[in-house]
Chain A
Amino acid sequence: MAHLEINSLVKKFAKTKAINGISLKIFDGEMVGIIGKSGAGKSTLMRLINRLIEPTSGSITYNDIEITALKGKNLREWRSECAMIFQQFNLIDRLDVLTNVLSGTLGINFKILKLFKFYNKREKIEALTYLNNFELSDKALQRVDTLSGGQQQRVAIARAMMQNPKILLADEPISSLDPKNSKVVMDDIKRINNQNGITVICNLHSLNIAKQYCDRLIGLSEGKIVFDGNPSSLTNELAEQLYDLENE
C-alpha cells in the first residue's frame, strides 16, 4: 500500500537538533495528528516532508521515490502533491478570494498567462465549486483579508484542494481560530480525509481536538517520537510528559 516513509531524519539548526532521529511510516488515507509542546519539532517535521526545509541527514521516501533527492521540476511536482495549510493562513492579502484559491494551481499547471491573473474556465469553475461547498462563493471577488479567520482558513483549504493533493499537511491550522471556527475547519479537514481519501498530517497543540479527530497520534518531544498509536492508548502520564503540564 502507498505510504510515506521517514528514515532516521535529523535536522540541525546551528547547534540545536530540532529533529533528532525520527523514523516512521504513514499510510495513505490515514489522519495523523502530531502533538507536542512548542519547540518539540512539529513544524520542522512538517516542512521537511514537503522540503520547504532541507534535512541535515536521513531520508524521506514516498512509494519508493526518494523525496530527499528530488530537484527542480520534480521537487516542485512533489510539493504540488503535498498541499499545506498554515497557522496564519499565508494567503495573499491584497488579492481577492478567487485568485487566492486559483493560485493553488500554479504548481500543477503553470502558464505564463497565470502571472497576469488569467486562469482558464475549468479552473475557475473548480475553484468556485470548492468555495460554494464552504459557502463562501458570494465573497469570491472580495479582498481575502476582509474575511474572518475561520473563513480565511477555509479559503486556504480550498486553495490546497485545487492541487488535487495526495497528502494534506496542516501546520497548526486552528491555532489562530476561536473554538467555533476551529470545529468548522477540523470538520472540513476530516471530511476531506474521509471523502477524498487524502492523507492528513496535522500539527495540533490542543490534545482534545487531536484525540477527537485523528485516527493516530504521534507525540514529539525534543525532536524525538515518544508516542505513536491510537489516541485512546495515550495515558495521562504520557500526555503530561508531552506537554510538561496538565492535560487541557
Chain B
Amino acid sequence: MSNKLLEKHLSLYSSQLKTRKLWNILVVFLLTISFLISSTIIDFNFSNIVNGVPRLGDYISQILPSLDINLIFENSETEGSIKYWYFNFKKYAFLLYETFNMAVVSTTIGFVLALILSFFSARNITPNIYGYYFVKRFLEFLRGVPEIIYAILFVWALGIGPLAGIMAISIHTTGALGKLFAEVNENVDLKSCEAIRSHGGNWLSEMRYGIIPKVLPNVISYTLLRFEINIRASTVIGFVGAGGIGQELYLVINFNYYEEVSAIILLIIITVIAIDISSSRVRQKIVGEIND
C-alpha cells in the first residue's frame, strides 16, 4: 500500500474511533443522568438502604419457620415440626389446585380467542383491511392493560372469587397471544394457501389447510410459555380478590401470620418450578414430534 492510501485509511479509522468514543460518552452521560434523576424520584440513597436492610432481615427471619431438627417429623401439635408449619396444608393444596385450574381455563380461552383473531390481525391473510386495523389495535389494548387492573374491574362486576381472575387473565392472554400468533402468521410462506385457492377453496379452507399446519408448532410453543406465565399470574391475582392462593397469601401477610407466609411462598415456588420444568419438556416433545 502506498503511503497516501495508508494515511487515508488511518485518518478514516481514527475519525470512526472518535465517533464511536463520542457515542459511548453520550450513552454513559445519558445513563448517569437517568440514574441520578431516578434516584431522586425514588429516594434511592445510601441511608435508605442501610436503614432498610436490617428491617428486611428481621422480616425474613420472622417468616422463616422455626423448625427444630429433633422435632421435624413430629405431629402437628408439636412446635418445630413440619406438620406444625404446614398445619393448613389441606387448604393450601386446595387453593393451589384452584390456582392451577384457573391458569388452565384462562390459557385455553385466551388461546382459542387469540387464534381466531390472529387470522384477522395478520396483514397477509386478513380478509378485510379495516378489520385488520381494528383487530390489531383491539388486541394491543387488551395486552397493554395489566391483568390485575382487569381483575379489579371484574371483581367489581362479578364479585370476589376465581371467576373474576379467570376473566381477567383470559382477556390479557388473548391480547398477548394474539399479537404473537399474528406475527407468526405474517412470516409464513403462502404457497399452500395459493394451492388451496387454486382448487377453489374458500378463505376458511385456506386458513385451515394453508396456514394452521405451518404455524402449529410455534403456536403451541407460545401457548405453553404463556401457560407458565399465567400460573404465576394466577398465584398473585388473588391479591385483589380474584381467587386462587393469592387471596390466602395476601391475608396471611396482612395479618402477620409470619410462618404461614413462608409456607405458602415455598409451595408457590415449588409449583411454579414444577410447571416450568414439565412445560418445557412437553414443548420439546411436541415440537420434536411435529417436526418428525
Contacts and interface: CB of A to CB of B under 8 A. Distances in A.
- Is there a direct interface between A and B, measured as CB atoms under 8 Å apart in the complex? yes
A106 B197 CA distance: 9
A141 interface: no
A2 interface: no
A17 interface: no
Given A80-B200, A115-B205, A94 B213 contact: yes
Given A88-B191, A94-B290, A115-B204, A79 B213 contact: no
Contacts of B214: 93-94
Interface string B209-245: 1100110100000000000000000000000000000
Given A79-B197, A79-B200, A163-B200, A92 B213 contact: yes
B201 interface: yes
B198 A52 contact: yes
Nearest to B217: A94
A93 B209 CA distance: 10
Contact of A93 (B194, B200, B204, B213): B213
Interface residues of A, number: 34
How would you classify the secondary structure of chain A's contact residues: helix, strand, loop or mixed?
Answer: mixed
A115 B196 CA distance: 12
Contacts of B209: 92, 95, 103, 106
A79 B199 contact: yes
B208 interface: yes
B202 interface: yes
Given A92-B209, A106-B209, A115-B208, A84 B202 contact: no
A50 B216 contact: no
B191 A90 contact: yes
B192 A91 contact: yes
Interface in A74-120: 76-84, 86, 88, 90-95, 103-108, 110, 114-115
B195 A110 contact: no
Contact of A80 (B191, B192, B199, B210): B199
B208 A79 contact: no
Interface in A154-194: 156, 159-160, 163, 169
B74 to A, nearest CB: 58
A214 B289 CA distance: 44
A103 B197 CA distance: 11
B contact face: mostly helix, strand, loop, or mixed: helix
Interface magnitude class on chain B: 20 to 34
A79 B200 CA distance: 5
Contacts of A77: 200
Contact of B197 (A52, A110, A143): A52
Interface centre among A83, A94, A159, A169 (most CB of B within 10 A): A94
Contacts of A106: 196, 199-202, 205, 209
Contacts of A80: 199-200
Contacts of A107: 199-201
Nearest to B208: A115
Interface string A136-160: 0000000100000000000010011
A94 B216 contact: yes
A105 B196 CA distance: 10
Contacts of B197: 52, 79
Nearest to A115: B208
A108 B200 contact: yes
Interface string B59-102: 00000000000000000000000000000000000000000000
Given A94-B214, A94-B290, A159 B192 contact: no
Interface centre among B196, B197, B198, B209 (most CB of A within 10 A): B198
Contacts of A93: 192, 213-214
Contact of A52 (B194, B202, B292): B194
Contact of B194 (A81, A90, A110, A159): A90
B201 A90 contact: no
26 contacts: A50-B198, A76-B200, A78-B200, A79-B198, A79-B199, A80-B199, A80-B200, A84-B195, A84-B198, A86-B191, A90-B191, A91-B195, A93-B213, A94-B214, A94-B290, A95-B209, A104-B199, A106-B196, A106-B199, A106-B205, A107-B200, A115-B205, A143-B292, A156-B195, A159-B195, A163-B199
Interface of B: 191-192, 194-202, 204-205, 208-210, 213-214, 216, 290, 292
Interface of A: 50, 52, 76-84, 86, 88, 90-95, 103-108, 110, 114-115, 143, 156, 159-160, 163, 169
Given A52-B194, A76-B200, A77-B200, 20 more contacts: A76-B201, A79-B197, A79-B198, A80-B200, A84-B199, A91-B192, A91-B195, A92-B192, A93-B192, A94-B213, A94-B214, A94-B216, A95-B213, A106-B199, A106-B201, A106-B205, A107-B201, A110-B201, A110-B202, A115-B205
Closest 3 CB pairs of A and B: A107-B200, A80-B200, A90-B195
